[in-house]
Structure 1
Amino acid sequence: MSTSVDARPPLRPATRTVAVVLAGGSGQRIGLATPKQLLKIAGKTILEHTLSLFEQARGVDEVLVMMNPGFVNDAEEIVAKAGFAKVSQVLPGGTSRNATTQLALDALSHYPADSTNVLFHDAVRPLLSQRIIDDCLTALETYSAVDVAIPSSDTIIQVNEDHVITDVPTRSRLRRGQTPQAFRCSTIREAYARAWKDPGFEATDDCSVVLRYLPEVPIYVVEGEERNMKVTQPVDIFIADKLFQLSSAVTPEYADDEYTRGLSGRTVVVFGGSYGIGAGVADLAEKHGARVFRYSRSTTRTNVANPDDVAAALSQAYSATGRVDFVVNTAGVLRIGRLDGTPAEDIEESLRVNYLAPVHIARAAFPYLAKTQGHLLLYTSSSYTRGRAEYSLYSSAKAATVNLTQALADEWSEAGVRINCINPERTQTPMRTKAFGEEPADTLLSADQVARTSVDVLLSDLTGNTVDVRRENPARNGESA
């Protein structure tokens, strides 16, 4: 006889939390020969994005990947390359969603059911937030089954086989289910033990199994997010890619002693290093023991739009120190005005400095950075998300810089070279003052604030990300120009 499960089990700490990433899809629904979890978005496979979420989650101890059986080796290569320390196993999934869950539970059978939590998450939901994960784990302190859902913004109708409406449920009580679904292991094991005794057993998700076979167990609902979308249809790939482009990474924040460990003895090349953000980055790196080389038109007559000047600068730094670890480009020009009224020479200069210069710098820096598995840091502007009147050249170049960052993160991943893009709010720099005049200081970021976040990013493992710097961030106060 099956054991009973308390509807409201007592509060007790779980000794281990395991995230099961369900990656058994084939991609046939959207006409793909490769599983959609292996498609690349923003420089990484969808599976890698999803695994990164649980690798970062403080409350998750272990990750188990249930992969499409024909692509287990592909998943193992992704795990090994990314260095996911929490992934303990990559196992082939079953022939159905329920069979895959059971295989995962079998793989976790060596853990005590009464002191283990398990989260089941779709691999093709790569935009899950840490807040949702934390809320699920908090809810498991009181409940033994937890779902994630969002309100339905559309009216839901019920139809019969003739496509005739039979009911219109009250929308205020309807929710759209997401993942993860979280359980105390004893609860989900018992639910499946009962379910497999039912010849007609079939369910689309794990909470449905608990609802049907353990009706005495309440299932608590954590509020989800619209961004926590499931990549199912071709249009979802496009939407997810845009969401990644517009999202900003959470930057680790380092203490001064960590700066010293990460920068001492390293070589830093800063283009645009004579003032503003570039000078702030150079000063901070130098303070913590880095050998810093500053290049600009005003001090070294280095024109970042000239590939020969860029190559000569990098060669000089390498010859002097034998290495190049970090390359930073803050150089830029801001031309405001209607395109039809902009002289041709100003158009050419804007594009050479704001877009072609990052391209030339990236191309010339890669051989040096590949030797040290170093980091290239570029800068964009809040205007990259949408072109604005009279900012057509600047906005389009900054959008191109974001796309360049994402593309090169993919290209350079095999060599271990990282590249990221800083997106500061309006910042007090000489370039901005020249364009807009004097502005109240309390409405602007300081260049030093942006520089601090910039160094945090340089020392991080991030790659392919656009990192926002906001004034409201109390730890690293960071529409830029």
Structure 2
Amino acid sequence: MANHLITGAGSGIGAAVARRLSQRGDQLWLLARSAARAAELRERFPGARTLVGDLAQPERLSWALGQQPEQPVELDSLLHVAGVVELGPVGDLTPKVWNETLAANLVAPAELTRLFLPALRAACGQVLFVNSGAGLRANPDWAAYAASKHGLRALADALRAEEHGNGVRVTSVYPGRTATPMQEKVHAQEGSSYDPEAWIDPESVATTVLTALDLPRDAEVTDLTVRPGR
């Protein structure tokens, strides 16, 4: 039975990935921002274990995880799925928006990876970053989000080179627009109507994630781009 630590399991892509891994009998460790949220996740995913830590405060993650009664000793995968988005032109973006976006989307994944590298090395595990098409190109009004995702790509590339000798694989997945609550928020910020049928189903991205995880150990998927097929 494999052990997976997942961020963002409460909705969208993270929930789809968690459900698929749970259905096949794997052990889930789900990161929640609060004890109340952790209880909700345990109810939604019976048998899952939870850890409490707020990705909005990456400087406190080490302390928060130190308060947990148990943590995984070995991890087959660390799946970074959670993220935040706030659109706006560079001329309007405040330091608060920049700091909040970079903290949740880049600094927190880096810190969480640092904290769990020993467990990943022990299992010759895999770190998988659910990035975004914005991590490959930046469009108007997407500067803060795209910058965080470009940074996440750099983090993945550096980590892959550093941990290859330790048997840790590193994958970046770049989904296009996906029918998630975040996408609904994006449409509201853009002032456009939201039709989930127009975008990628989260289950399709989950299939991509599992494909990368299940690849035999003689190979490594480094980068996968998933685009809407409609």
Report the TM-score when normalising by structure 1.
0.41
Task: Please give the per-residue CA displacement for 1:43-70, whole angstroms capped at 9, x wherever unaligned.
Answer: xxxxxxxxxxxxxxxxxxxxxxxxxxxx
Q: What is the aligned length? A: 208
| Structure 1 partner of 2:61 | 309
Give, in angstroms, the shift of residue 384 of structure 1: 2.2
Identity level (%): 25
Query: Is the CA contact 2:61–2:111 (under 8 Å) kept in the aligned structure 1?
Result: no
Q: Which residue is 1:205 aligned to? A: none
Determine the structure 2 residue equivalent to 1:381.
132
Contact 1:311 1:364 survives alignment (8 Å)? no
Distance 1:275 1:395 in 2: 21
Q: Does the alignment pair 1:273 with 2:9?
A: yes
C-alpha separation between the residues in 1 aligned to 2:25 and 2:136? 37
Q: What are structure 2's unaligned runs of at least 5 residues? A: 39-51
In the alignment, the residues of structure 1 paired with residue 67 and residue 227 of structure 2 have an alpha-carbon distance, to the nearest angstrom, of 35
Residues 471 and 339 (structure 1 numbering): CA distance in 2 closer, same or farther, change over 3 Å? closer
Report the secondary structure of 2:135's partner residue.
Answer: helix
Aligned to 1:182: none
Distance 1:414 1:384 in 2: 26
Partner residue, 1:453: 208
Q: Which residue of 1 aligns with 2:99?
A: 348
C-alpha spacing 1:351/1:359, structure 2 compared with 1 (3 Å): same
Instruction: Tell me how far 1:294 sits from its aligned partner.
Output: 1.6
| CA–CA distance in structure 1, aligned partners of residues 181 and 66 of structure 2 | 25
Structure 1 counterpart SS, 2:91: helix
SS at 1:420 equivalent: strand
Query: What amino acid sits opposite 2:111 in the alignment?
Result: H
Return closer, same or farther for 1:315/1:364 CA change in 2, 3 Å cut-off.
Answer: farther
Distance 1:282 1:273 in 2: 6
* Structure 1: distance between partners of 2:66 and 2:119: 8
Structure 1 runs of 4+ aligned residues shifted over 6 Å read: none
What is the alpha-carbon distance in structure 1 between the residues aligned to residue 18 and residue 128 of structure 2? Answer: 13
- 2:218 counterpart of 1:466: no
Q: CA deviation at 1:408?
A: 0.9
Report the equivalent of 1:44: none
SS of the counterpart of 1:295? strand
Deviations 1:104-138 (A, max 9, x none): xxxxxxxxxxxxxxxxxxxxxxxxxxxxxxxxxxx
The CA deviation at 1:421 is 0.7
Q: CA RMSD in A?
A: 2.4
CA contact (8 A) 2:17 2:206 kept: yes
Q: TM-score if structure 2 supplies the norm length?
A: 0.81
Partners of 1:356 and 1:463 in 2: CA distance: 25
**Deviations for 1:263-307, whole angstroms, at most 9, x for unmatched residues?**
xx1111101111111111111111111111222336135312424
Against the structure 1 CA distance between its residues 356 and 275, is the aligned structure 2 distance closer, same or farther, given a 3 Å change threshold? same
The gaps in structure 1 that reach 5 residues or longer are 1-264
Structure with larger RCO (C-alpha < 8 A, sep 6+): 2
Say which one has the larger Rg. Answer: 1
Measured after TM superposition, the shift of residue 329 of structure 1 is: 1.0
CA distance in 2, matches of 1:471, 1:435: 16
For residues 385 and 407 of structure 1, the distance between their equivalents in structure 2, rounded to whole angstroms, comes to 16
Amino acid at match of 2:156: T
After superposition, what is the alpha-carbon deviation per residue over 1:348-396, rounded to whole angstroms, capped at 9, x for unaligned? 1011111111211221121110000001111211122222221111111
Tell me how far 1:443 sits from its aligned partner: 1.6
Question: Which one has the bigger helix percentage?
Answer: 2
**Residue in structure 1 matched with residue 47 of structure 2 by the alignment:** none
Map Cα deviations across residues 160-212 of structure 1 (whole Å, 9 max, x no partner): xxxxxxxxxxxxxxxxxxxxxxxxxxxxxxxxxxxxxxxxxxxxxxxxxxxxx
Give the match for residue 156 of structure 2: 405
Q: Is 1:327 equivalent to 2:78 in the alignment?
A: yes
Alignment of 1:443 onto 2:194: no
Shift in alpha-carbon separation, 1:375–1:335, aligned structure 2, 3 A: same
TM-fit CA distance, 1:322: 4.1
Q: How far off is 1:403 after superposition?
A: 1.6
Residue number in structure 2 paired with 1:86: none
